[in-house]
Chains A and B, each alone.
Chain A
Amino acid sequence: MGKDRLLDVLERYEAVIGLEIHTEITAANTKMFCGCPVAFGGEPNTRVCPVCLGMPGALPVPNEAAIEWTVLAGLATDCDIALWSQFHRKQYFYPDMPKDYQISQYDLPFCSNGMVDVEVDGPGVAERLDLDGDVVADGPVPVVEDGGYRVPIGITRIHLEEDTGKMVHVGGSEGRIAGATHSLVDFNRAGTPLMELVSEPDIRTPEEARRFAQKLRSIWLVLGVSDCSMEEGSMRVDGNVSIRARGQVEFGTKTEIKNMNSFKALHDALAYEIVRQADLLDAGEAVVQETRHWDATARRTSGLRSKEEAHDYRYFPEPDMVPFSFEPEWIASLAAQLPELPDARRDRYIAEYALPKADAAMLAADSETGRYFDATVEITGADRAKQAANWMLGDLAALLNAEGIAIGDARVTPAMLAELIGLVEDGTISGKQAKQVFAEAAETGDAPGAIVEARGMKQVSDTGAIEAAVAAVLEANPAEVESYRAGKTSVIGFFVGQVMREMRGQGNPAVVNEVLRRMLG
Chain B
Amino acid sequence: MTALDLSALSARQVRDGIARGDFSAREAADAAYARIDALDGEVHAFLQLMPELAYAAADRVDAARAAGDELPPLAGVPAGIKDNMNLLGTRTTCSSRMLENYESVYDCTAVRRMLDAGALPIGKLNMDEFAFGSSTENSAFGPTRNPWDLERVPGGSSGGSAAAVAAGMVSVSLGSDTGGSIRQPAALTGTVGMKPTYGRVSRYGVIAFGSSLDQIGPFTKNVDDSALLLEAIAGEDPRDATSATEAVEAYTAAVEGGVRGLRVGLATDILEVEGCAAEVKQSVLDAAEVFASLGAEVGEVALPSARHGLSAYYIIGPAEASSNLARFDGIRYGHRADDAEDVLDLYMRSRAEGFGPETIRRIMLGTYALSAGYYDAYYGQAQKARTRIIEDFRSAFERFDVVLTPTTPEPAFRFGEKSDPFTMYLNDFYTIPVNLAGNCAMSVPSGLCSSTGMPMGLQIIGDYFAETTVFRAAAAYEAALGFDTTPPLVRALAR
**A contact residues around B372 at 8 Å (CB):** 312, 314
- Indicate if the CB atoms of B204 and A54 lie closer than 8 Å: no
- Indicate if the CB atoms of A59 and B86 lie closer than 8 Å: no
B57 in contact (CB, < 8 A)? no
**B contact residues around A319 at 8 Å (CB):** 210-212, 242, 320
B437 in contact (CB, < 8 A)? no
Q: A98-B327, A99-B326 are in contact. Are A320 and B211 (CB under 8 A)?
A: yes
The interface bits of chain A over 54-68 (1 if a CB of B lies within 8 angstroms of the residue's CB, else 0) are 111111111000000
- Indicate if the CB atoms of A185 and B238 lie closer than 8 Å: no
Q: A61-B239, A93-B347, A316-B375 are in contact. Are A54 and B327 (CB under 8 A)?
A: yes
A263 in contact (CB, < 8 A)? no
- Indicate if the CB atoms of B347 and A316 lie closer than 8 Å: no
- Indicate if the CB atoms of A99 and B241 lie closer than 8 Å: no
- For the complex of A and B, 10 pairs with smallest distance between CB atoms: A100-B326, A319-B211, A319-B212, A314-B370, A57-B205, A56-B207, A312-B372, A57-B207, A54-B327, A321-B241
A53 in contact (CB, < 8 A)? yes
CB distance from B202 to the nearest CB of A (A): 8
- Indicate if the CB atoms of B371 and A56 lie closer than 8 Å: no
List 27 contacting pairs A-B, 8 Å CB cutoff, sorted by A: A53-B332, A55-B105, A55-B333, A56-B94, A56-B99, A57-B86, A57-B108, A59-B203, A59-B239, A61-B238, A61-B241, A62-B241, A89-B323, A91-B370, A98-B327, A100-B329, A183-B343, A312-B371, A312-B372, A314-B323, A314-B367, A314-B375, A315-B370, A319-B210, A320-B208, A320-B241, A322-B242
Q: A50-B106, A61-B239, A316-B375 are in contact. Are A99 and B85 (CB under 8 A)?
A: no
Closest-by-CB residue of B relative to A183 is B343
- How far is B318's CA from A316's CA once the two chains are assembled, in angstroms? 13
- Indicate if the CB atoms of A322 and B326 lie closer than 8 Å: no
**A contact residues around B106 at 8 Å (CB):** 50, 55, 58
- How far is B106's CA from A53's CA once the two chains are assembled, in angstroms? 12
Closest-by-CB residue of B relative to A312 is B372
**A contact residues around B239 at 8 Å (CB):** 59, 61
The interface bits of chain A over 297-328 (1 if a CB of B lies within 8 angstroms of the residue's CB, else 0) are 00000000000000010111001111000000
**B contact residues around A183 at 8 Å (CB):** 343
A95 in contact (CB, < 8 A)? yes
- How far is B342's CA from A183's CA once the two chains are assembled, in angstroms? 11
Residues of chain B in range 275-326 having any CB-CB distance to chain A below 8 Å: 319-320, 323, 326
Residues of chain B in range 378-423 having any CB-CB distance to chain A below 8 Å: 379
**B contact residues around A89 at 8 Å (CB):** 323
Set A57, A91, A314: member contacting B206, Cβ < 8 A: A57
A391 in contact (CB, < 8 A)? no
Residues of chain A in range 7-65 having any CB-CB distance to chain B below 8 Å: 50, 53-62
Set A57, A98, A185: member contacting B85, Cβ < 8 A: A57
**A contact residues around B241 at 8 Å (CB):** 59-62, 320-322
Chain B residues within 8 Å of A, Cβ to Cβ: 84-86, 92, 94, 99, 102, 105-106, 108, 203-208, 210-212, 238-242, 319-320, 323, 326-329, 331-333, 343, 347, 367, 370-372, 375, 379
**A contact residues around B102 at 8 Å (CB):** 56
Known: A91-B326, A321-B242. 20 other contacts (CB 8 A): A54-B332, A56-B86, A56-B102, A57-B85, A57-B92, A57-B207, A57-B208, A58-B106, A58-B204, A59-B203, A61-B239, A95-B329, A95-B343, A100-B327, A312-B372, A314-B370, A316-B320, A319-B211, A319-B242, A322-B241
- Indicate if the CB atoms of A50 and B105 lie closer than 8 Å: yes
A101 in contact (CB, < 8 A)? yes
**B contact residues around A59 at 8 Å (CB):** 203-204, 208, 239-242
**B contact residues around A100 at 8 Å (CB):** 326-327, 329
Closest-by-CB residue of B relative to A177 is B343
Chain A residues within 8 Å of B, Cβ to Cβ: 50, 53-62, 89, 91, 93, 95, 98-101, 183, 185, 312, 314-316, 319-322
- Indicate if the CB atoms of A93 and B371 lie closer than 8 Å: no
**B contact residues around A93 at 8 Å (CB):** 326, 329, 347
Q: A59-B204, A89-B323, A98-B332 are in contact. Are A320 and B242 (CB under 8 A)?
A: yes
- How far is B363's CA from A91's CA once the two chains are assembled, in angstroms? 13
The interface centre, meaning the residue of B94, B211, B371 with most chain A CB atoms within 10 A of its CB, is B211
Closest-by-CB residue of A relative to B108 is A57
- How far is B207's CA from A56's CA once the two chains are assembled, in angstroms? 5
CB distance from A169 to the nearest CB of B (A): 11
- How far is B106's CA from A58's CA once the two chains are assembled, in angstroms? 9
**A contact residues around B319 at 8 Å (CB):** 316
- How far is B240's CA from A100's CA once the two chains are assembled, in angstroms? 20
**A contact residues around B204 at 8 Å (CB):** 57-59
Closest-by-CB residue of A relative to B343 is A95
**A contact residues around B205 at 8 Å (CB):** 57-58
**A contact residues around B99 at 8 Å (CB):** 56
- How far is B208's CA from A450's CA once the two chains are assembled, in angstroms? 71
- How far is B204's CA from A61's CA once the two chains are assembled, in angstroms? 11
CB distance from A72 to the nearest CB of B (A): 22
**B contact residues around A61 at 8 Å (CB):** 238-241
**B contact residues around A56 at 8 Å (CB):** 86, 92, 94, 99, 102, 207, 327-328, 333
CB distance from B241 to the nearest CB of A (A): 5
- How far is B207's CA from A507's CA once the two chains are assembled, in angstroms? 84
- How far is B343's CA from A55's CA once the two chains are assembled, in angstroms? 20
Closest-by-CB residue of B relative to A34 is B239
- How far is B238's CA from A62's CA once the two chains are assembled, in angstroms? 11
**B contact residues around A321 at 8 Å (CB):** 241-242
**A contact residues around B238 at 8 Å (CB):** 61
CB distance from B335 to the nearest CB of A (A): 13
CB distance from A462 to the nearest CB of B (A): 76
CB distance from A183 to the nearest CB of B (A): 8
**B contact residues around A53 at 8 Å (CB):** 332
- How far is B34's CA from A8's CA once the two chains are assembled, in angstroms? 89
- How far is B131's CA from A56's CA once the two chains are assembled, in angstroms? 14
CB distance from B140 to the nearest CB of A (A): 16
- Indicate if the CB atoms of B331 and A185 lie closer than 8 Å: yes
- How far is B370's CA from A316's CA once the two chains are assembled, in angstroms? 7
CB distance from A38 to the nearest CB of B (A): 19
- How far is B322's CA from A101's CA once the two chains are assembled, in angstroms? 11
CB distance from A165 to the nearest CB of B (A): 10
**A contact residues around B370 at 8 Å (CB):** 91, 314-316
**B contact residues around A316 at 8 Å (CB):** 319-320, 323, 370, 375, 379
- Indicate if the CB atoms of B371 and A314 lie closer than 8 Å: yes
Closest-by-CB residue of A relative to B92 is A56
CB distance from B361 to the nearest CB of A (A): 17
- How far is B375's CA from A50's CA once the two chains are assembled, in angstroms? 31
**B contact residues around A95 at 8 Å (CB):** 329, 331, 343
**A contact residues around B329 at 8 Å (CB):** 93, 95, 100
**A contact residues around B327 at 8 Å (CB):** 54, 56, 98-100
- How far is B204's CA from A241's CA once the two chains are assembled, in angstroms? 44
**A contact residues around B371 at 8 Å (CB):** 312, 314
- How far is B155's CA from A503's CA once the two chains are assembled, in angstroms? 107
**A contact residues around B242 at 8 Å (CB):** 59, 319-322
CB distance from A427 to the nearest CB of B (A): 66
- How far is B334's CA from A54's CA once the two chains are assembled, in angstroms? 12
Closest-by-CB residue of A relative to B243 is A59
- How far is B108's CA from A95's CA once the two chains are assembled, in angstroms? 26
Closest-by-CB residue of A relative to B326 is A100
**A contact residues around B328 at 8 Å (CB):** 56
Closest-by-CB residue of A relative to B204 is A59
The interface centre, meaning the residue of A62, A93, A101, A314 with most chain B CB atoms within 10 A of its CB, is A314
- Indicate if the CB atoms of A101 and B105 lie closer than 8 Å: no
- How far is B346's CA from A185's CA once the two chains are assembled, in angstroms? 15
**A contact residues around B323 at 8 Å (CB):** 89, 91, 101, 314, 316
CB distance from A179 to the nearest CB of B (A): 13
- How far is B347's CA from A98's CA once the two chains are assembled, in angstroms? 13
- How far is B328's CA from A63's CA once the two chains are assembled, in angstroms? 26
CB distance from B109 to the nearest CB of A (A): 10
Closest-by-CB residue of A relative to B203 is A59
CB distance from A393 to the nearest CB of B (A): 49
